[in-house]
Structure 1
Amino acid sequence: MSVPDAKTLPKAFDAKSAARALALAQETLQIEADALLALKNRLAQQVEGPFSEAVRLLLQCTGRVVVSGIGKSGHIARKIAATLASTGTPALFVHAAEALHGDLGMITEHDAVIAISYSGEAAEFIAIIPIIKRMGAKLIAITGNDESRLAQLADVHLNVRVDKEACPLNLAPTASTTATLALGDALAVALLDARGFREEDFARSHPGGALGRRLLTHVRDVMRSGDAVPAVRADVRLPSALLEITKKGMAMTAVVDDQGRAIGIFTDGDLRRLIETAQDFGKLAMADVMHANPRTVHPDQLAVEAVEIMETFRINQLLVADADGILVGALHIHDLTRAKVI
């Protein structure tokens, strides 16, 4: 990398420079906002126009949506493909230049191609579009020029023309790429709605995200089970139950009958309240001090349902029981926090 010449180095960034930078930032945002508003108004005039036709074509696609571009348009195309894929429309990105050298084989006759080129004259597209058309794949072009060759070759053309770029030189793609990205989002949202895509569907394609964890994690995935669950019989004396609470570290113990059904619960909070009565603890059995008919959750319920129960009743522990009431696990609020359900 060459070292900048002293003449090309920026001057000291003083208050005047800061003011100019802020003014340019505001102007940039205004230009891009104006571009988006102009695009919105154009779409509003085309109820049965190209946008609706593009949505119809993509809904009818039995293969995948292949989004392609080159340069800055390539970066935008990659993001649009990712947004489509995560909202119920199978999609992938293919670089227009790489398509000339083998990646064209990723496209089939069942696919729909979204080709992005603001000029509509990118040489790479002009070379591959006839092949795509010949194989039978549908073509949606996103350009800024209705008269461009790409626009003329497309089955549907979406015009993202902007009056000017935010770049002071009116050269670097700025407002035009913003408009293209927004149009891609508009397509994704329209398709999402038309497909009846739901929150649960989004979670399935984002299992590692917060929403995925909330909607896909079940109680059985995070509960403590087996020997990790504190449990005693109803006739066990309080001192022995306290040892079980201490040993298992859940600040509570379940109380079960001879069949293993959860019939009660005793917590640290219950112990603190019990101390205030100054009773002879050694004589007390769990049947005397437990909360009978404890709240439980089924292992197949969503973990967020367990959170809702805890929050509603202001409790930190919850027993897990099967359909017959048999104790199969236990949850502490910390288990849900560690699993990032909360």
Structure 2
Amino acid sequence: PIITDPVQIWTDMMAMPTIADKSSLYKRYDAQVQTNTVVLPGSDAAVTRIRGTHRALAMTTDSKGRYLYLDPQVGAAMSVAEAARNLVASGAEPLGITDCLNFGDPTKPEAFYELAEAAKGIIAATKAFNAPVISGNVSLYNETNGEAIYPTPMIGMVGLIEDLSTITTAAFKQADDLIYLVGETHGDFNGSELQKLQTGEVTGKLFDFDLEAEKQHQHFVLKAIREHLITAAHDLSDGGLLVALAEMGFDAQLGAQINVTLPTAWGFSETQGRFLLTVAPENQAAFEALHGPAQLIGRVQAAPEFEVTTVNQHFSASLQQLQTAFEEALPCHMNQKA
């Protein structure tokens, strides 16, 4: 992809309906029933305590409909993996899933193929993460004027946090914390938010997905969290690195300085199996002694600004500009007259 104005693209990405803030919807519901909620909606996973113990449960729902449209088997496995990443980023070990399989008319060969291939992907991923499917349902014949929805298996996953003190959220905690990127980044744009934004289409061969590398990255992140070395953790998903970076800054109104050996466009790549982590400076040596697949790319700063250096550009984006786009997009979409 060609990006001449990275700040404008970044702002537009934050306003994409699948990325934009959903609080205008979930705040309509009581998230604190029975007063067990520890982490409210808005982070990677919701967390509730288990009364009488030092444990907690983390829960998330995820789906990658566009990825499944391009490759139902790989896309389904990616959906399970993203749910697991969200739990791990919260300090939880995945336990099991429930799913809701939403597909078109199974009497049509293409819809039946999507359903069968998606099931294969879910099976492979749940075996990899040792998180069995314990319940679920199926919704078929989802069509409008003969055109089916994207194949959309919703993955609900639950995980266990052994110690309440290791609960981790996505928000930056303090200035000068170090920012690490876990996992390699490639030019993976087919089915991505950037492709949809720039072309209005979802096309091409879905990029490669290494389930074994995904497991290794998750194991490393969970180990670092359990050793109390991580101050914030966020999985990289829709929109890639730069979207995740902005989301981490919003709650605490903290910016960041990062320097990456990547082309600017790759800041929006959706390579799977990646995390952003922050580490307090005094824990840098202990964290790096774990010898995980993590690269130091920058630090949190008090100024509400994101300063980014790539191999081909240097640019700065205002936290307020990005957050305004993020928070106002969905209400604007909802209030538009037909």
TM-score range, shorter chain: under 0.3
Instruction: Pick the structure with greater CA Rg.
Output: 1
Normalised by the size of structure 2, how large is the TM-score?
A: 0.25
Larger RCO of the pair (alpha carbons < 8 Å, separation 6+)? 2
Larger strand proportion of the pair: 2
